[in-house]
Amino acid sequence: MIDPIFANINKIIERDSKATTYKFALLRGVIDIIQDNSPYIRFSDDRVIIPTGLLLEKWLLYYYPILESETLIPQINGDINLAFGVQFRKLINDYRSLGGFSAFYNDLSNKGIPTLLQPDFLGLSKKLYDTITRMPMKYIGRSVNKEFYSIFKCEPGTRKLTNGSIDVAYLIHTYGTFSIPVEYYNSFRVLGSFINGQDSILFKWAQFSVNASHQPLSLEKVIAGLLRSPITERDVRESKRIYRSALKKEGKVYCVWTGDLLTKYDVDHMVPFSIWKNNDLWNLLPSGSRINNKKKDKIPSVIRIENQSELILKYWNLINECQPVRFQREIKISLLGDKYNNDWQSAGQTVPHVHIHLIPRYTGDVPRPQGGVRGVIPGKKGY
């Protein structure tokens, strides 16, 4: 049986909002602090208390090289900037002639931030604190518990200016504390290196290849090779072309998630391609553009799939008529397995149950549209 806390962590990583990288930075920071076995960690009843300043240090070290990079490495969706982007780039510019990232880290951990740069550093640290405590700490875990601050609790500090050294110790003693349930601490302590990826099979595989090579070889290049998918953008476009051709012959097209009649539509991957590199025809369904944009990398819940199973089966029948050999081969391998006996329709009637093996890890909730929607159970939230 899967430990419920492990299951919750998995849901948080997969389902919680991913509009920015804040969630990843928060989880990575907490895990790194726990893995470092920081002496500042203390226990109180059923919670573990950690100085927020330690988390600020981690975020400073995570985001500095990303924002300093000449190559754009997006950290947020859309055209807006990170909440602390302006302040961070100002500090990066301050250190550009002083030795860059390495010099900054040396000042932060040993010498202290130079007096002339302290206003910029303090402005950035305050902005980081506000961002961390008001955003990811507030919202993380809402896929498990709808309450705000359901996992993280914050206790503010004094945040008073000082004439002493501005360094990591200053951050630790100025910015208060946060706490997490002890069961999450134990999970992060045991599995944290796997969650962060340092001990993942993929990372270890890449490390082995680099160490075994007698030629210059970067870890990044090996990982990119290991992650390369055989399915190209051209393959995806061709599958969608086939699907649109079938829908054109059908005439009227309905959004599979709302039942609304569509004049324009997207061909949506039911299980998002970013999560599972599956380009099977059964995994393609017509969706309203607005719903598809909100759905993004979420998967419809079991209830939503059950509610919309009639439309799902309608489109499966449609694409089966156009591409019977490919469709039946793909649905047999990916979904039905031994249930398939040349009568996929009978097995397909249990589509929500057949699909269950995908649900525990990946399923989320596609957003509920405004107004009247066909197929929505009254009182149920989301999809």
- Are 220 and 322 members of one domain? no
How many alpha carbons fall within 13 Å on the CB side of residue 247? 24
Task: Residue 120: name the closest of 99, 90, 96 by CA.
Answer: 90
The answer as to whether 372 is a domain residue is no
How many alpha carbons fall within 13 Å on the CB side of residue 118? 16
Q: Residue 370: is its pLDDT beyond 60?
A: no
- Are 251 and 276 members of one domain? yes
- Are 240 and 192 members of one domain? no
CA distance 216 to 210: 8
Q: Domain of 108?
A: 4-196
The answer as to whether 376 is a domain residue is no
Instruction: Output 318 or 6, whichever has higher pLDDT.
Output: 318
Q: Residue 360: is its pLDDT beyond 80?
A: no
- pLDDT score, position 125: 97
Give ∠ CA 239-240-241 in degrees, rounded to 5. Answer: 90
Q: pLDDT-derived band of residue 376, with 50, 70 and 90 as boundaries?
A: very low
The answer as to whether 369 is a domain residue is no
Average pLDDT over residues 204-218: 88
- Are 192 and 207 members of one domain? no
- Are 116 and 192 members of one domain? yes
- Are 131 and 263 members of one domain? no
- Radius of gyration, alpha carbons of the chain: 25
Domain count, the chain: 3
Task: Residue 184: name the closest of 5, 371, 366 by CA.
Answer: 5
Q: pLDDT-derived band of residue 367, with 50, 70 and 90 as boundaries?
A: very low
- Are 61 and 140 members of one domain? yes
Mark residue 112 as left, alpha or beta (left: phi above 0; alpha: psi -120 to 50; beta: remaining): left
Last residue of a domain, one of 180, 208, 226: 226
pTM: 0.73
